[in-house]
Each structure stands twice: as structure tokens, then as C-alpha cells.
A and B are shown apart, each in its own frame.
Chain A
């Protein structure tokens, strides 16, 4: 079945550092891909998405490009802020009715 693998955390960065969180997927076909963010004590919020190969999703300075050749959807941000500290989940949709989530990566940004 489909699966999503993302890098383990925690990832600890200093403010204004460059962020990459790796995500790869295994699927039949080409599912839509998503990044969700979970701030401390809150629920899941959609951060960005891409629905087909070479699409780039972007929001709040975060970007991810759907790369079919490497089956990847890595999350990047050029300059992180303390307020970006959260858990980030990569997820893939499929032709059924559910999302498959990665295990989540905790990001801690220090001032």
C-alpha cells in the first residue's frame, strides 16, 4: 500500500537558519501530497499542498516541490523563526478516502 516516510526529528535550528525536512512517498500512481503543521497544543493545519508532478506548494515562506523522479516532497524554508517551532507532518492522498501520514518531524527553533 501507499506509504510516506519523513526524516526523524527533532530538528533544532537557530533563528534565520535554512530548513529542510525530507519526505518521500511510495504509491501506485501519483497522489496529491501535503504538509500539515501541528503547533503545541493545537490540531493539524494544512500548510501547503501539490497535486501533480513538478507542482510547487508554498505558504508562509515554506515551499515543497512534488518531484516524481525522486518520489519526494521535501519541505524547505529559507529563514526559520521561533514561531515555526512545531511538528510537521508529510501526507499523501490516494484514490481511496484517506490520507497517509508520515511519522512527523518536530522542529525546534532557538532564538
Chain B
């Protein structure tokens, strides 16, 4: 069964450092998303991406964040200068059609900023 793959599963970084979280969406999907879940809290939407541009972003997705599809398979989330409050589980998701139908989620990357 096709699945969304995220790497790494866990990343520890120093405050102020840049991190790149990587995702390989399901191959025939056209819509890509990043969500995050701070420990014990709800899953929050960060950004959606379609046709090589951001479709929608939340208030959380400020100038420190960027997304990119550098090739035909990868979808990345970059945090330019990490803060302690960026520590969370980051989920990548993809779907064939816009988010009103099911999105398939990856296993997540746990980011710990120290």
C-alpha cells in the first residue's frame, strides 16, 4: 500500500539552527501539507502546497518557515532559525484532491529544539 514517508523520525537541534524536514508524498498525489502537534495538544495546520506554490498557510507559518518541492518526489519543510517552541511532531500529508477528502499522513518527525 502506498504511504507517505518522512525523514528523519527524530531530530534534535540547537536553538537558532536551521532544520530541514523531509517528506516523500504518495506518488500520484498533487496536494501536500505540513501539520504539527505540540506534545499533548491538537494537530495544527501549517501549510498546503499545490502546483509548486503555497495554497494556504496558517498564522503559525511565519517567515521562519518555508516549503519546497525540490524534485519530483520530495517535499520539504525548512525552519530557518529554530526556537524552543518549535519543538513538536511535524506531520507531512498528501492527497489526490484538496483537503476536503482524505489526506494520508506520514509517521511524523519529532523535532526537539534544545
Contact = CB atoms under 8 A, between A and B. Distances in A.
Interface of B: 31, 33, 35, 41-45, 48, 50, 55-56, 58, 91, 98-108
A34 interface: yes
A43 B48 contact: no
Given A43-B105, A97-B48, 11 more contacts: A43-B107, A93-B100, A95-B98, A96-B55, A96-B56, A96-B99, A97-B56, A99-B35, A99-B99, A102-B42, A103-B42
A44 B35 CA distance: 11
A100 B100 CA distance: 10
Chain A contact patch, size range = 20 to 34
Contacts of A34: 102
Interface of A: 31-32, 34, 36, 42-46, 49, 51, 89, 91, 93-104
Contact of A93 (B56, B99, B105): B99
Nearest to A48: B102
A94 B101 CA distance: 9
B108 A96 contact: no
A60 B105 CA distance: 19
A45 B105 contact: yes
A43 B41 CA distance: 14
Q: Give 7 nearest A-B pairs by CB, closest first.
A: A97-B48, A93-B100, A43-B107, A44-B105, A98-B45, A101-B43, A103-B42
